[in-house]
Amino acid sequence: MTLVNDSTTVPAEPTAARPPTVGEQLAARFPNAILGASTFRGDTTLTVAPTGLTDVARALRDELGFDHLSNLSSTDWSRYRGYAGKERFSTIYHFTSTRTGERIGLKVFAPGGDSPAVPSLAALWAGANWPEREVYDLMGIKFDGHPDLRRILLPNNWPNHPLRKDIPRGGETVPFSMIWEDEEFQSFGKQIVEAKSVQPVPPKQADANKHMILNMGPQHPSTHGVLRVVAELDGETVVAAYPDIGYLHSGFEKQGETIRYKDFLPYTDRMDYVSAMSNNLGYSLAVEKLMGVEIPPRAQVIRVICAELQRLASHLVWLGTHIMDAAGVSHALLMYTFREREQLSDIFELISGARLTISYIRPGGVWKDVPPSFVERVQDVLKAFPARIDEYERMITENPVWLGRARGVGKLTAEQCLSLGVTGPLLRASGVPFDYRKARPYSGYENYDFKVPVMTEGDTYARYLVRLEEMRQSLRIIDQALKNLPDGPVWTADRKMALPPRQELDTSMEALIHHFKLMTEGFVPPMGEVYHSVENPRGELGFYLVSDGTAVPYRLHVRAPSFHNLQATDTMARGSLIADLVLVIGTIDIVLGDVDR
């Protein structure tokens, strides 16, 4: 059974001509669990019975090599065209193979009507923990067997599950204040040094009697935003670290369901505000995939240049603030990196008029062609940066204190990374050579000669080296892209998204109508759902879009890399010292706008 597809078929017996697809293999193994399959824009999605989900997922991971749980999301189908009396909620899981780059989606329709429940995958992938909590929080789907099913983004006393279609956007009373009687607040908020020793109520996991519970954040210099980490300490040793997020939650996904596709673009700037270009690119590619349009080569090359410049800028911010975590605000490197970032921001200002929230890459191409001086300015960057990166390296790479602080701290093995859904430089520093630019190339990344830096140590120092090398590789990509910058348009010629040329409006009635429709309504994708992910500076940035054939997304979900990577905090910090916990938060390179959305 499926709702969104253009070719509903129960997978046929594999023919001798081609090897069986993953869907066919699974259907053969679990004839009762696989209810159907659909393919839309190259994305294969299997519909799985709730009871069979765990077995299918385990088989995917252990036998078929889909070791990475990319995305976990959900949809409320109650207002969907064609929905009639079927299961109202579904969860969707996207699995990616880190070896081949293949991807497959599993969709589970949750039984239980308005209080649905599906089995939890947290036992198979530790990284399913937070996404499932997010789904529970925003959509109200319960996960059976989840170890700690609480709200994650919204306060504990929030009255509803806002992503459900019957909850209107805005207008609700907002219970922002913490309840004093709340168990969690009592245990974390009280000080141990009180004139009268009041024994705080211990939280579920933390042992408040034996250990000191330290609240780091949401106002703390090195949580990089409004992150709160509740650290359970034995002396200075971190027994456990519980990140508490949601202070910056702005409901972007709900907002996305009320505005047209192209209008959501500025919101992506404000998610990972340190790398707006990459977000623009990820969203634009997802929308273009949904629309099925082609982007002209010049626009593609400009996009690559912009995305790599953004990667440089983002890594510069990371480097400066990371050293600040280790050394305090007085360290020179912070200002050095910001000096370089200034050069990049100037380029962004040149091409788009904005420096931080850029909105330059848009569904359909890029906003406008780059000005002539763009190439020259980027060449200045290419000339200056190698020496600058060497300068940073001279400053700290061999510094004994930095070596002592960074090596062996925040270790993650490859297995832990994959289980936790950690992506990006963290995954690559643990020995998994997985980069979406190589594994699932987009925007023509397959045409560039660059290397994916990989290290096996999996500690803070390895991640530091990996990111520095990524900056060098980005320079290589930019260099090649600049040399091969083709001429031509920067906006798609596909009339589904592009306005007709001005002269046609005088002669063609069709063009006039088309123009009118695009201007008033916006472009309209066909019914269907896509998931597309790109390699953001922080890891896998994915957009899951469900279209019901109108100009407004039916469901828009963001797979934010920081959100998933942040889950590794506890694993990385356990058993280390407070100073290491600060470095761990820094090495994850989170942006809270990305975490909370």
Partner 1 sequence: MDYLRNFFVNLARSWTAWIGGFLPDWGVNLVNYLVVGIILVLMPVIATLTLTWMERKVIGRIQNRIGPNRVGPWGIFQAFADAVKMLIKEDIVPSGADKPVFNLAPILIAGAAALLWAVVPFGRGMIGQNLNIGALYVVAVGSITTIAVIMAGWSSNNKFALLGAFRVVAQLLSYEIPMVLSIATVVLVTGTMRMGDIVERQVAPFIVVLPVAFITYLLAAAAETGRAPFDLLEADSEIVAGYFVEYSGLKFGWFYIAEYGNLFAIAAITTTLFLGGWRGPFVSVAPALGPFYFVIKSVAVIFVLMWIRGTWPRFRIDQMLAFAWKVLVPASLANLLWSAIVLQIGRQPEQLGPTIVQMILLLVGNVAILAVTGLLLGRAARRYAAQHGWAGA
Partner 2 sequence: MQQAIFIILALLTLGAALMTVITRNLLRAALWLVATFFGIAAIFILLRAEFLAVAQILVYVGAISTLIIFAIMLSRGIMDPDQVRFNGQWGVVGGFAALLFVVLAVIVTRVPWPAAAGGAPVGDAPADAIARLGAAFVGPYAIPFEVASVLLVVAMIGAIIIARERE
Residues that bind partner 2 (CB under 8 A): 192, 195-197
At its nearest, how many Å lie between partner 1 and the CB of residue 561?
23
Residue 580 partner contact from partner 1, partner 2, none using kind-dependent CB cut-offs of 5 to 8 Å:
partner 1
Please select the residue that binds partner 1; options are 167, 212, 452, 505, rule is CB under 8 A.
212
Residue ranges in 459-478 that form contacts with partner 1 under rule CB under 8 A? 459, 461-462, 465
Would you count residue 187 as binding partner 1 (CB under 8 A)? no
Would you count residue 123 as binding partner 1 (CB under 8 A)? no
At its nearest, how many Å lie between partner 1 and the CB of residue 339?
6
Nearer to partner 1, 463 or 597 (CB): 463
> Based on the number of CB atoms within 10 Å of its own CB, is 477 exposed (0-12), middle (13-18) or buried (19 or more)?
buried
Residue 386 partner contact from partner 1, partner 2, none using kind-dependent CB cut-offs of 5 to 8 Å:
none
At its nearest, how many Å lie between partner 2 and the CB of residue 236?
13
Nearer to partner 2, 191 or 205 (CB): 191
Nearer to partner 1, 405 or 559 (CB): 405
Please select the residue that binds partner 1; options are 4, 27, 106, 396, rule is CB under 8 A.
396
Short-list 426, 477, 436, CA closest to 318: 426
At its nearest, how many Å lie between partner 1 and the CB of residue 451?
17
Nearer to partner 1, 39 or 186 (CB): 186
Would you count residue 355 as binding partner 1 (CB under 8 A)? no
Nearer to partner 1, 34 or 454 (CB): 454
Site string for partner 1, 406-445 (x = CB under 8 A): -xx-------------------------------------
Residue 377 partner contact from partner 2, partner 1, none using kind-dependent CB cut-offs of 5 to 8 Å:
none
Report whether 274 contacts 313 (CB < 8 A).
yes
Would you count residue 580 as binding partner 1 (CB under 8 A)? yes
CB burial readout 551-580, b (16+ within 10 A) else e? bbbbbbbbbbbbbbbbbbbbbbbbebebeb
Residue 332 partner contact from partner 1, partner 2, none using kind-dependent CB cut-offs of 5 to 8 Å:
partner 1
Residue 15 partner contact from partner 2, partner 1, none using kind-dependent CB cut-offs of 5 to 8 Å:
none
Residues 293, 395: Cα–Cα separation, whole Å: 47
Report whether 171 contacts 162 (CB < 8 A).
no
* Tokens at 507, concatenated: 């002669």
Residue 85 partner contact from partner 2, partner 1, none using kind-dependent CB cut-offs of 5 to 8 Å:
none
CB burial readout 196-229, b (16+ within 10 A) else e? eeeebebbeebebeebebbebbbebebbbbbbbb
Residue type, 30: F
User: Which DSSP state fits 61?
Assistant: H
Nearer to partner 1, 52 or 243 (CB): 243
Helices 53-62, 22-29: inter-axial angle, 10-degree rounding: 130
Residue 161 partner contact from partner 1, partner 2, none using kind-dependent CB cut-offs of 5 to 8 Å:
none
Give the per-residue SS3 of 517-551.
HHHHCCCCCCCEEEEEEEEECCEEEEEEEEECCCC
> Based on the number of CB atoms within 10 Å of its own CB, is 171 exposed (0-12), middle (13-18) or buried (19 or more)?
exposed
Would you count residue 318 as binding partner 1 (CB under 8 A)? no
For residue 296, whether the previous peptide bond is cis, meaning omega lies within 30 degrees of 0, is no
User: How many chain residues are in contact with partner 1, going by CB under 8 A?
Assistant: 51
Short-list 564, 478, 530, 510, CA closest to 363: 530
- CA trace torsion 200, 206, 207, 209 (10° rounding): -20
For 254, other C-beta atoms within 10 Å of its C-beta total 17
Please select the residue that binds partner 1; options are 334, 417, 426, 427, rule is CB under 8 A.
334
User: Which DSSP state fits 177?
Assistant: S
Residues 321, 402: Cα–Cα separation, whole Å: 14
Would you count residue 372 as binding partner 1 (CB under 8 A)? no
At its nearest, how many Å lie between partner 2 and the CB of residue 575?
14
At its nearest, how many Å lie between partner 2 and the CB of residue 215?
18
For residue 433, whether the previous peptide bond is cis, meaning omega lies within 30 degrees of 0, is no
- Cα-trace Rg, the chain: 24
Residue with tokens 């001429």: 487
SS3 of 393, please?
helix
Nearer to partner 1, 368 or 394 (CB): 394
Nearer to partner 1, 236 or 294 (CB): 236
SS3 of 479, please?
helix
At its nearest, how many Å lie between partner 1 and the CB of residue 223?
10
At its nearest, how many Å lie between partner 2 and the CB of residue 193?
8
Give the interface segment with partner 1, choosing from 115-123, 173-181, 220-228, 282-290 (CB under 8 A): 220-228
Residue 197 partner contact from partner 2, partner 1, none using kind-dependent CB cut-offs of 5 to 8 Å:
partner 2
Nearer to partner 1, 364 or 425 (CB): 425
Q: What's the full length of the chain, in residues?
A: 597
CA angle 571, 574, 577 (to 5 degrees): 135
Residue 396 partner contact from partner 1, partner 2, none using kind-dependent CB cut-offs of 5 to 8 Å:
partner 1
Would you count residue 210 as binding partner 1 (CB under 8 A)? no
Report whether 553 contacts 392 (CB < 8 A).
no
Report whether 577 contacts 237 (CB < 8 A).
yes
Residues 337, 321: Cα–Cα separation, whole Å: 9
Residue 408 partner contact from partner 1, partner 2, none using kind-dependent CB cut-offs of 5 to 8 Å:
partner 1
At its nearest, how many Å lie between partner 2 and the CB of residue 239?
16
Residues 363, 266: Cα–Cα separation, whole Å: 12
Nearer to partner 1, 68 or 463 (CB): 463
Please select the residue that binds partner 1; options are 39, 44, 399, 508, rule is CB under 8 A.
399
Q: Using CB under 8 A, list all residues that contact partner 1.
A: 191-195, 212, 214-215, 220-222, 235-236, 323-332, 334-336, 339, 395-405, 407-408, 455, 457, 459, 461-462, 465, 577-580, 582
